[in-house]
Amino acid sequence: MAAAARLINPISMVRQLWGHRDLTWQLIRREVGQRYRGSYLGILWSFATPIFMLAVYTFVFSGIFKVRWVNSAEATPLGEFALILFAGLIPFNVFSEVILRSPNLILSVPNYVKKVVFPLEILPVVALGSSIVSSLISVSVLLAAIGLLLGSISWSLILLPLAYLPLILLTLAAGWLLASLGVYLRDIGQGIGIATQALFFISPIFYPPTAIPEPYRFLVYLNPLTPILGNFRYALLGQGEFNWGLWLGWTVLGGVLAWLGYVWFMKTRKGFADVL
């Protein structure tokens, strides 16, 4: 009974994760390093990739298609659309990368499950941490582009840590749930791939929510990434507004879902070794 009470105590969850912070940070550093190990440019690829993608977005959407981000009655100036697009892709890539990896997190380390006393619950945290490091590199590239194209960086940048908070909590919730389900339901990875593609198109990355026809707009607002993307754009570009009501609601709900995901993971991990 005492062990069960500790498991469902959210404070105990925080203590457990904090107690493994050194191991978590070491694994994040190792994972980030392994991405570029053996390549000539090494860690420089983490800067080269977002720079290249930003250049492509600028050329294709602003140079060729002359796309504008329409908000209210004002059209977006030339070149700014690529920055708006890139600012929306940063949080989406964090979420999609983690949930695509999560179903295989436990399956990929059977030795940790069977032979070693290892805190498996930190694996989704490590995946999230690695993705956030990559996103921060993309943020630095975006800020440099903002300085070059727009001439100044908005004061709203100080809100960026707050914009990350609901994203982190919701991603952790999904990560713990999918990491557990992936052990028992091997096909779930295929389904998550399809769901992620659908989520990409119903998330306001290439368009503002107001561009969706009224009968279908509710689908966009049901998407928890919609306010997160909007808050990221405000923090990075000063574009739109920081929706404090939705931020608070999704932060609280994300915290509850993260706790429930952690409880589910810890309850089901007892059967991992039997399945593997």
Query: Distances from the Cα of 152 to the Cαs of 143, 156, 239, in angstroms?
Result: 9, 12, 13
Q: Are 121 and 24 in contact (CB under 8 A)?
A: no
Q: Above 90 in pLDDT, residue 222?
A: no
Give the separation between CA 25 and CA 40, rounded to whole angstroms. Answer: 25
18-36: pLDDT as tens digits: 999 999 999 999 988 887 6
Mean pLDDT of all residues in the chain? 86
Average pLDDT over residues 92-121: 90
pLDDT of residue 38: 60
Question: Tens digit of pLDDT for each residue in 131-146?
Answer: 999 999 889 989 998 9
Sign of CA dihedral 176, 177, 178, 179: positive
Kindly report, residue by residue over 141-167, the tens digit of the pLDDT.
Answer: 899 989 888 888 889 999 999 999 999
Structure tokens at 143: 């800020």
Q: How confident is the model at residue 71 (pLDDT cuts 50, 70, 90)?
A: low
Evaluate if residue 233 carries a pLDDT over 70.
yes
Cα distances from 91 to residues 40, 66, 241, in angstroms, run 28, 25, 17
Question: What share of the chain has pLDDT > 70, as a percent?
Answer: 87
Q: Which residue has the higher pLDDT, 67 or 177?
A: 177
Residues β-bridged to residue 74: 71
CA pseudo-torsion sign 163, 168, 174, 178: positive
Task: Between 78 and 272, name the one with better pLDDT.
Answer: 272
